[in-house]
Structure 1
Amino acid sequence: MVSAGSENPTFVATDTFKYMPKGVVKEGKEDLKLNYPALLRTESYINGKWVKAKSGKTQKVINKATLQEIAQVPAQNKDDTEAAIDAAHDAFQGWAKRTPKERHDLLYKLYHKINEHADDLAHIIVAENGKALQDAAGEVEYSNSFVEWFAEEAVRAYGKTVPAPDPKVRNVVIKQPIGVAGLLAPWNFPLAMITRKLCPALAAGCTGVVKAPCEAPLSALALAQLIDEVGFPKGVVNILVSERGQDEQEMGKTLCESPKIRAVSFTGSTRVGKILAQQSASTLKKLSLELGGNAPFIVFDDADLDLAVSNLVQCKFRCTGETCISANRIYIADAIYDEFSKKLAEQVGQFKVGNGMDKGVTMGPLNNEAGKKKIEEHVKKVKDAGGKIVLGGNAGEGLFFEPTIAQAPDAKQLPTDEEETFGPLAVLYRFKDEADVIKRANDVSVGLGGYFFSQDVGRCFRVGEALEVGMVGINTGMISQYIIPFGGVKESGFGREGGPTGIDEFLEEKTLVFSGL
């Protein structure tokens, strides 16, 4: 059964696996009790200065577990965006001329600053995002891995010489920073998705304008505080905060249409990615788009069942299921289906759900009301189609939802067939053979991540090569690493973040042809 967090809000588990939060607080401002209070910034960062919105508008940031106000931050618009673009544009030439070693040294100083304040950063993430503390701490470590990696890549953006057919000619290819980068970050990893974009841009010699997510902007502003303390030149990094709605759309459009922005990197939905691509067409920007997924998770009948179950728990339910590479369509071989369902329910039934800061909590609330409604709709449609809810299925108060396991009915259309739930709902499908499950796994318009479990070496190669995704986990549900490329195929976008090629998204090759030698 689900046990209760001991502090506000707390939950009472019942025989129907339903828990209700008690004493949810909505009034007053919450004190995060940070060891270093300077990290809680309430202004945006433009041209080395802390500024309010030009319009004077603000917005509240809410603790997703308690629904209590944490802070008020700017609600900025097109005018603020243009000011940030101008600052980054003015700073670009000076930053691009810094030696790679100088850029390396500043990024390494940032790496040590983040390590120094890792606990506080994790607490900020818990409050503004909702994920449990263990997930938030993991995010801080993951975030900083990109800072370290791209500090080192700054001094390894090698060019090359290309032998010419004419003995009097020498060809030299160099790499140069592309220019100002517009970086649009999502709320589900409010720190990691920024460092994964910003650090390769800085390492390459680009300046950046970051649009922080309105749902969780405090991590971005805390990062700006550390960037300021490290001593990056003014204008090199600019961090804006939007408000959901027309102003946010105008900010994104401004970044895409400005001729001073030469590269745009976005993580988010396929729908928005297509809009940004259209808006960027007028200036032919270099784009890196990490868009929606609908990850298949396949367990063949020769798999190590316990290994598959434990990895599915991590892959599906970490960070409350709000990750772009979460397992979404879970295909279980018919011969092991019932046993797998039972083992999965036993493990998920041990979750402790509540405020992510409470001791022992393994899953927190969702980030927003729209996400909660989407899960409710998916659960209802599974039930209406004749599916069986094995565990959970109920909404709590506020932004909480039970971790839920459902068995899909045969040959019925479900919302998870074509749409990622982005929450703690695991829908289990039956399959009979390899060819059928590969066909079903690939029968979607997106292709970000995919997973399968088998002990047959030949099958591992066949299925790994056949899945139409950018990343495949084989006998693992955890694939994200700073050292390998992250990205998808089909309508999951293009471009790669992390790994040896991540810095290339912010570099251009220039060929120098020497003749008359």
Structure 2
Amino acid sequence: MRNIREAIRRTNPFQKDFTVDAQSILSDLGIASLVADGDLAVTSPITGEVIGRVKQNSTADVDAALGAARTAFATWRNVPAPRRGELVRLLGNRLREKKEALGRLVSLEAGKILQEGLGEVQEMIDICDFAVGLSRQLYGLTIASERPGHRMAETWHPFGVCTIISAFNFPVAVWSWNAALALVCGNAVVWKPSEKTPLTALAVDRIFRDVLDEFGSAPAGLASVIIGGREVGAALVADKRSDIVSATGSTEMGRKVGVAVAQRFGRSILELGGNNAGIVSHTANRDLALRGILFSAVGTAGQRCTSLRRLFVHDSIYDETVARLKELYAKVPVGNPLEQGVLMGPLIDVQAFARMQDALEQAKGEGGKVSGGERVTVKGHENGYYVRPALVEMPSQTEVVLKETFAPILYVMRYSDFDDAIAANNAAAHGLSSCTFTTDLREAERFLSASGSDCGIANVNIGPSGAEIGGAFGGEKETGGGRESGSDAWKAYMRRATNTINYSSELPLAQGIDFNLG
């Protein structure tokens, strides 16, 4: 508990009047002139004020970007992979130089606390490091042939143009997960960021332009950014030149993207919603569990696809656990995310606030007991949608519990049998992330087994959020089945070829087929 108290801090986070100098951040990143007079107004959730105006692209711009990307791909695919890795190495180095400014812009535009904004840029740096090593490890296989004098092999080749559609909550990390791998795999990249967070995309694009100048030999059109809403997104998804569409967002969006890409036999990588659960065993290390629960449920104001939303607590420790969680929730400093000591910033906008309030009202109607969830007034930032994190004791997994609400709402329920808790974990339509807190080896292994959690991510004694880039990220069911970032996720950005080489003077056929004329 000492560590939690230290993290939360007992000081009032609203004592000082903090003024965000948006223009200095934009100038430092070299994009101030790009965000002065466009037709898309960009507001900061911190203040609710406009911090930039960005020019939106048209469907004609989409056509031009994809055409340029296809031309660039024809050249880039023939560049040796280690040389492609050099480009990504330079990107990682430049991100190190710009980490502070870009991290602040992430916080300013997405509403994350500064530590999370900086952490997101660190993710970009980490995936660049991973991709640089990968550029020398794009391995195939040698396969035993049943035919004498023959060798079979598996080779991997660049796929084409990778179109990346990212969401507001991780405005730059998701691009890097995809782009770093796509580039070392020999692909070109087109990026459509969320229209809620276009400034960070323009900043990253500017950084990448500088890297391309330093690299010196990359083809024009290798990477581009398209700013706009659904119309340009739909044009990108429908175009057959988008060989791979990697889309992050809601399950509803994924259904449309998946169908549109499948109709033209393209490839999609879908990273969609998550209604993630945790199980707290009676054997759990309580302090560790509380720390894990707090970050996973409250971090990023509950606006992560991996946020903890459902918690099953063993009946024997339920009352104690809920009481301690309520105590911690009441102490969470909510306020300007760029101020030191604040652990939870605002929701992204009024629509997110409305959805949260609707969910809490529905929970009450379904027998829930709500603690927190009310709007918080932050001095000087009255137009921001700040809320207290909500803890909701529920009698069971009702309709609202099984619906993902992108907000800091944690539904807490009792369980007595561990197998029943696993079944409850798996009852959600999504299958992204999950966790259990236990010191019982049998429970831990049961949770990770084939009959345990059905999620793409299953953790023991750590919350469901905060994934490292070394492991493949993604989930099953209505989460879409996609995988990004580490492990062998690179294979989704390449095409596989099986090759057979006959080095004999005979022509034996597979399966012993005799096809001689006599």
TM-score, shorter chain, exceeding 0.5: yes
The equivalent residue for 1:404 is: 389
User: In structure 2, which of residues 499, 502, 505 is the aligned counterpart of residue 515 of structure 1?
Assistant: 502
Taking the aligned partners of 1:261 and 1:58, their CA distance within structure 2 comes to 26
Matching of residue 393 in structure 1 with residue 374 in structure 2 = yes
1:187-240, CA deviations, whole angstroms, 9 ceiling, x for partnerless residues? 101010110111111010000110011101111111111111111432110111
* Pair 165,112 (structure 1): closer, same or farther in 2 beyond 3 Å: same
The equivalent residue for 1:486 is: 473
User: In structure 2, which of residues 345, 349, 353 is the aligned counterpart of residue 368 of structure 1?
Assistant: 349
Matching of residue 449 in structure 1 with residue 436 in structure 2 = no
The equivalent residue for 1:4 is: 13
Query: SS in structure 1 opposite 2:128?
Result: helix
8 Å Cα contact 1:96/1:205 also seen in 2 = yes
8 Å Cα contact 1:96/1:177 also seen in 2 = yes
* Pair 190,259 (structure 1): closer, same or farther in 2 beyond 3 Å: same
The equivalent residue for 1:498 is: 485
Summarize the alignment of residues 340-489 of structure 1 with structure 2, pairs less than 5 Å apart: 340-394=321-375, 396=377, 397-411=382-396, 413-415=398-400, 417-465=401-449, 466-477=452-463, 478-489=465-476
Matching of residue 228 in structure 1 with residue 219 in structure 2 = no
1:133-172, CA deviations, whole angstroms, 9 ceiling, x for partnerless residues? 1111111111221111112112211122222222222223
Taking the aligned partners of 1:342 and 1:385, their CA distance within structure 2 comes to 22
Taking the aligned partners of 2:306 and 2:500, their CA distance within structure 1 comes to 44
8 Å Cα contact 1:333/1:430 also seen in 2 = yes
Segment of structure 1 superposing worse, 133-142 or 106-115: 133-142
User: In structure 2, which of residues 55, 73, 77 is the aligned counterpart of residue 96 of structure 1?
Assistant: 77
Unaligned runs of 5+ in 1: 10-24, 45-51, 243-247
For residue 408 of structure 1, report the CA deviation from its aligned partner.
Answer: 2.2
1:162-186, CA deviations, whole angstroms, 9 ceiling, x for partnerless residues? 2222222222321101111111111
* Pair 403,136 (structure 1): closer, same or farther in 2 beyond 3 Å: same
Taking the aligned partners of 2:49 and 2:392, their CA distance within structure 1 comes to 36
The equivalent residue for 2:515 is: none
* Pair 490,188 (structure 1): closer, same or farther in 2 beyond 3 Å: same
8 Å Cα contact 2:474/2:482 also seen in 1 = yes
Taking the aligned partners of 1:489 and 1:208, their CA distance within structure 2 comes to 25
For residue 36 of structure 1, report the CA deviation from its aligned partner.
Answer: 5.7
Taking the aligned partners of 2:32 and 2:189, their CA distance within structure 1 comes to 19
* Pair 111,222 (structure 1): closer, same or farther in 2 beyond 3 Å: same
For residue 250 of structure 1, report the CA deviation from its aligned partner.
Answer: 2.5
Query: SS in structure 1 opposite 2:52?
Result: strand
User: In structure 2, which of residues 28, 32, 47 is the aligned counterpart of residue 37 of structure 1?
Assistant: 28
Residue type at the aligned position of 1:403? R
* Pair 412,463 (structure 1): closer, same or farther in 2 beyond 3 Å: closer
8 Å Cα contact 1:389/1:404 also seen in 2 = no
Unaligned runs of 5+ in 2: 1-9, 213-217, 505-518
1:346-395, CA deviations, whole angstroms, 9 ceiling, x for partnerless residues? 22322221111123222111112211111111122223334223345345
1:62-106, CA deviations, whole angstroms, 9 ceiling, x for partnerless residues? 111112221111222322111110110111111111111111111
Taking the aligned partners of 2:478 and 2:363, their CA distance within structure 1 comes to 25
For residue 480 of structure 1, report the CA deviation from its aligned partner.
Answer: 0.4
Residue type at the aligned position of 1:175? W
For residue 43 of structure 1, report the CA deviation from its aligned partner.
Answer: 4.4
User: In structure 1, which of residues 286, 308, 312 is the aligned counterpart of residue 293 of structure 2?
Assistant: 312
Taking the aligned partners of 1:388 and 1:402, their CA distance within structure 2 comes to 17
TM-score, with normalisation over the residues of structure 1? 0.89
Taking the aligned partners of 1:171 and 1:392, their CA distance within structure 2 comes to 61
8 Å Cα contact 2:111/2:345 also seen in 1 = yes
* Pair 2,401 (structure 1): closer, same or farther in 2 beyond 3 Å: farther
* Pair 184,383 (structure 1): closer, same or farther in 2 beyond 3 Å: same
The equivalent residue for 1:331 is: 312
The equivalent residue for 1:147 is: 128
8 Å Cα contact 1:158/1:175 also seen in 2 = yes
Residue type at the aligned position of 2:414? R
Query: SS in structure 1 opposite 2:270?
Result: strand
Taking the aligned partners of 2:386 and 2:436, their CA distance within structure 1 comes to 27
Segment of structure 1 superposing worse, 80-89 or 393-402: 393-402
The equivalent residue for 1:253 is: 234
Taking the aligned partners of 1:163 and 1:42, their CA distance within structure 2 comes to 60
Query: SS in structure 1 opposite 2:24?
Result: coil
Summarize the alignment of residues 48-59 of structure 1 with structure 2, pairs less than 5 Å apart: 58-59=39-40
Matching of residue 183 in structure 1 with residue 164 in structure 2 = yes
8 Å Cα contact 2:357/2:373 also seen in 1 = no
1:9-61, CA deviations, whole angstroms, 9 ceiling, x for partnerless residues? 7xxxxxxxxxxxxxxx9xxx9634239624435649xxxxxxx9xxx962011
Taking the aligned partners of 1:30 and 1:80, their CA distance within structure 2 comes to 32
Taking the aligned partners of 2:32 and 2:125, their CA distance within structure 1 comes to 20
* Pair 385,8 (structure 1): closer, same or farther in 2 beyond 3 Å: farther
For residue 432 of structure 1, report the CA deviation from its aligned partner.
Answer: 1.9
Taking the aligned partners of 2:17 and 2:315, their CA distance within structure 1 comes to 43
8 Å Cα contact 1:387/1:406 also seen in 2 = no
8 Å Cα contact 2:346/2:387 also seen in 1 = no
For residue 303 of structure 1, report the CA deviation from its aligned partner.
Answer: 0.8
Residue type at the aligned position of 1:233? P
* Pair 369,253 (structure 1): closer, same or farther in 2 beyond 3 Å: same
Taking the aligned partners of 1:360 and 1:39, their CA distance within structure 2 comes to 29
The equivalent residue for 1:66 is: 47
8 Å Cα contact 1:485/1:496 also seen in 2 = yes
Max Rg structure: 2
